[in-house]
Amino acid sequence: MDASTSESVPRPPAGDIHSAAGDADYLIRDLCNSLESYLSPEQVSEVYRAYLFGAEAHQGQSRLSGEPYIHHPVAVARILAGMRMDHQCVMAAILHDVIEDTETAKDQLAREFGSEIAELVDGVSKLTQIKFRSRAEAQAENFRKMMLAMTKDIRVILIKLADRLHNMRTLGVMGPSKARRIARETLDIFAPIANRLGINSMRHELQELGMAAHWPWRYNILRGALRRQRGNRKEVVGNIEEVLRGRLQLEGFDGAVYGREKHVYSIYRKMLEKKQSLTELADVYAFRIIVDSVDTCYRVLGVVHNLYRPVPGKFKDYIAIPKANGYQSLHTVLFGPHGLPIEIQVRTREMHRVAEEGIAAHWQYKDVGAGSLTPDAAADWLRDLLEVQKDSGNSMEFLEHVKVDLFPDEVYVFTPRGQIFVLPKGATVIDFAYAVHSDVGNQCVAARIDRRLAPLRSELRNGQTVEIITKPSNRPNPAWLDFVVTGKARATIRSFLKRLEQKEAIELGRRLLERELESLGRHLDAIDDADRARLLHEIGLASFDLLLEQIGLGNRMAKLVARILISSDDRPSAEEGLAGSLTIKGTEGMVVRFAKCCGPIPGDPVVAIFSPGRGLVVHHRDCPNLGDFRRQGQSWLDVQWAEDISGEFSTGIRVDAGNQRGMLATIAALIAEEGSNIEDVRSEERDGLSTSVRFVVSVRGRMHLANIIRRLKKVPFVLRINRVIG
């Protein structure tokens, strides 16, 4: 930019930079100088106009350090200017606290600077006006709002990261407890987000500052030890650098070679993961070679492999298969001079820029319309965030799901057609199925890993080819939640089960209410809309289905609802009480459960107990755990088995048998021969001569159980068999 052009940009007045106003003038002048290297004069003028607005809005406000508040937003904007962000992003950074900390309204910002900047500022602002029951809930809701704003415009999170980075740089003025809390949040959420977006320079600084604030003693001890090591390493690193440069020049390659510094936090994490002290960690010498093209990267790799012998299994090609955050590079570990391990990364200049600046290096601004073009590296993650938000019940659950996906370790797996999927370390077949599509996950019944059938809970490894087998009638199993690791899979499964439980609860509630109405001489279909509306108004519910759901879940008693529904003139004068029984089939789903204490099975005399939030829990009539429920008529419900029952039910039997080699195997084999599955087994030695074994077996009903018991009684060493009830 020539001198005449730069003169057209408004400038702050020259002054004493040691005064408060002078300091602010110096900061905005420095920011404008930085922006002029890549923005037009008109855009720099707009940034300066935003500064004047922000300085006036924050007039009289100070930070804890005593400096004028405007210093902070200008410093945040300076960080983003260093990342060469567009002028609207820089303007939003200068204004990012005016909605939250001043009397400025979003509408006023929109009138002054346009709706796009107003939306950016609103997305960064916290939800301080809303009262929450706990700090954790407030933080989770703030996080949810921030992440959803990010899915609309990725610049929201870049401003927030820059804001957090400057706050961490100035954290020394905070009290120790508050500083540790902010540092913990930085390490748990903001540094992983920077990593997920590929902004390594920001991630490393956030991690170093976070550790220094959260574990100051550990940080200082480790930093001192690394400094002492560095003194001994300088000569070795310098020699290896010279050897690498010399070999590259000899082979005709123009490449820059740099020895890399270790970061205290990464060393600390490695010590924790490997459970080793600093002296026990292998002192790996790390170097980075930066060249001009992808082809040169692979040729240089051959050169260094000829120079030093590579360590088997330590080569990774992130150029052919980039990381989820867009990172690309060739990684290899070599046996260097005197057997020293040498880690080398080979990348192009463009790859190096992306590795340091991440998503900001890809930045493209759309001149027509609002919003931004999001790089492919982040687009998939943002789409998943929207799905997770849709399927999450609340902000705490959303935060839980997203934090899982911020872990950096990754596994690369393939579809049979060669499509690559990047999943967190520890991901299973089910996680992969949901990564392909939510419907594929919901309908998953089996899988082949490298053409061999594998369990759904199988943990995936790098390079595997996974094929999912689906069945349209299948639905998610609640047990999947025990082993899935991705936020998308967990949120989708929970959402499906909630919808399924709601549907089943409504159906059960309808049956229970119909039964109570019939005992009073009425039918549900005969209740007119006016009576239904009156009831809903009295109890404060929005819909009749919601009322039926609460009845099905046991949160409202069908008997009381039935009596409110029927006006006093219509109520029969017959004796009140429960007439008849509710018929159960065992296929009602999650709103009808069978008590594990007594294991009721078809053919048993049974009763049901209302359990708030869980629906009906069916017990054997002789179950000793019923206890006080017998005296609580309002929670007690007579039930009976339907005639056409299919399926299997769990119940317990106790077998006392003489100690004999193969005793347990013989009993288990006989149970299996009778078509039953053993779900649990526990044994206890009695007197040295006999053992009592308790089995939980799946049976179709009382007749099936009787056949199993009859068969076991014929075994010579079986002394007694009892069914376990309670």
Q: Per-residue pLDDT tens for 252-262?
A: 888 899 887 77
Catalytically annotated residues: 100-101
Residue 94 identity: I
Residues of the chain with pLDDT > 70: what percent? 77
d(CA 549, CA 509): 6
Question: How confident is the model over 425-466, as pLDDT tens digits?
Answer: 788 999 999 988 888 998 898 899 988 888 888 999 877 889
Whether pLDDT at 263 is above 50: yes
pLDDT at 211: 94
Whether pLDDT at 364 is above 60: no
Q: Who has greater pLDDT, 378 or 58?
A: 58
What structural domains does the chain harbor?
3-217 (1.10.3210.10), 223-360 (3.30.460.10), 376-484 (3.10.20.30), 501-641 (no CATH), 649-724 (3.30.70.260)
pLDDT at 61: 86
503-525 CB burial, b ≥16 within 10 A, e <16: ebbbbbbbbbbbbbbebbebebe
Bridge partners, residue 449, by sequence? 452, 466
- What order of strands is seen across the sheet that includes strand 718-724? 677-685, 690-699, 649-658, 718-724
Helix, strand, coil % (nearest 5) of the chain?
50, 15, 30
Whether pLDDT at 654 is above 70: yes
Question: Which ranges constitute the DSSP H helices of 281-394?
Answer: 294-307, 349-357, 376-391
| CA 92, chain centre distance (Å) | 28
pLDDT at 59: 87
> Which of the four pLDDT bands, split at 50, 70 and 90, describes residue 193?
confident
pLDDT at 125: 72
For tokens 């002296």, name the residue: 279
> Which of the four pLDDT bands, split at 50, 70 and 90, describes residue 225?
confident
Q: What tokens appear for 593 in the block?
A: 């459960």
pLDDT at 13: 45
Query: Quick check: helix, strand or coil at residue 469?
Result: strand
Question: How confident is the model over 463-498, as pLDDT tens digits?
Answer: 788 999 988 888 888 788 888 888 788 888 877 777
Residue 371, phi-psi category: left (phi > 0), alpha (psi -120 to 50), beta (remainder): left
> Which of the four pLDDT bands, split at 50, 70 and 90, describes residue 217?
very high
Check: CB of residue 637 under 8 Å from CB of residue 707: no
Residue 260 DSSP code: P
The number of residues making up the chain comes to 726
Check: CB of residue 454 under 8 Å from CB of residue 429: yes
Lowest mean pLDDT among 26-30, 280-284, 513-517, 597-601: 280-284
Q: Who has greater pLDDT, 274 or 21?
A: 274
pLDDT at 409: 64
Whether pLDDT at 350 is above 80: yes
> Which of the four pLDDT bands, split at 50, 70 and 90, describes residue 548?
confident
